[in-house]
Structure 1
Amino acid sequence: MKKYFVQSAPFIVPTTDGKLIEEHHGLATTNNPEISIAHMIAPPKWSEPFQTPEFEEYTYIIKGKKQFSIEGDIIVLEAGQSIKIEKNTRVQYSNPFGEPCEYIAICKPAFDFAKAHRE
């Protein structure tokens, strides 16, 4: 039995807002409830509803900028920066800027839409 797995076919999450979501590890791809790792590209002027997820979310910005509205605070991260948001924290993710934002998102436990609690 191999003690490793190389992911070369991530699950492309269907979206209607122009955002690219490629889940490399998680519930949709590897049936792993412990952690999810996704590569994402948020288009300019993109945003999603507020949510209060039951999982921690880590974000690492590769290119561009991403805005986080976290319980009343507005934080903007740029390439090379990262953030950890604790579970049960009300947050909204957006890219109000004029260029795409490419980033990696890691959720622990794994992202589960039913546990994201979007408004």
Structure 2
Amino acid sequence: MSKKYKIQNSPFVVPTTDGKIIKEHFGNATDGNSEISIAHMVAPPGWSEPFQTPEFDEYTFIIKGKKQFIIEGETLVLEAGQSIKVEKNTRLQYSNPFSEACEYIAICLPAFSIDAVNREAE
């Protein structure tokens, strides 16, 4: 009989060039799951991504530090203990312009994929 659960002890570490640590626990890269992705991330001080318009809903829960969101022109800052849902097809930018690293969990429905994130050229 197969197990009805899976403990993830070896998440996929996404290669990055910007100092951000991305550990996908479940999702396309880790177990081929295209329905949902769950990743543990650490964004270093001064980190930012280009604007994007993802084809998935994204939930973010801040564990430590602060993270800046520019959502359709509105700037928001979330701190530890706060969470947000950003609906798919919303233009946004994520960044950490602060002096300490930001640790957070990101959940994407359907799962994150580089083809569905629609990042703009910098």
Task: Specify every segment of 5 or more residues in structure 2 that has no aligned partner in the other structure, as ranges.
Answer: none
Give the equivalent residue in structure 2 for 1:52.
53
Matched, 1:78 2:79: yes
Give the equivalent residue in structure 1 for 2:106.
105
Give the equivalent residue in structure 2 for 1:96.
97
Matched, 1:115 2:116: yes
* % identical equivalent positions: 73
Query: d(CA) in 2 for partners of 1:3 and 1:64?
Result: 35
> For 1:30-53, what per-residue CA distance to the aligned partner results, in whole angstroms no more than 9, with x for missing partners?
110000000000000000000000
The number of aligned residues is: 119
TM-score if structure 2 supplies the norm length?
0.97
- The Cα of 1:85 is off from its aligned counterpart by 0.1
Q: How does 1:53-68 map to 2 (within 5 A)?
A: 53-68=54-69
Q: CA RMSD in A?
A: 0.3
**Partner letter of residue 94 of structure 1?**
S
Q: Could you list the runs of 4 or more consecutive aligned residues of structure 1 that deviate by over 2 angstroms after TM superposition?
A: none
Task: Specify every segment of 5 or more residues in structure 1 that has no aligned partner in the other structure, as ranges.
Answer: none
TM-score if structure 1 supplies the norm length?
1.00
**Partner letter of residue 32 of structure 2?**
N
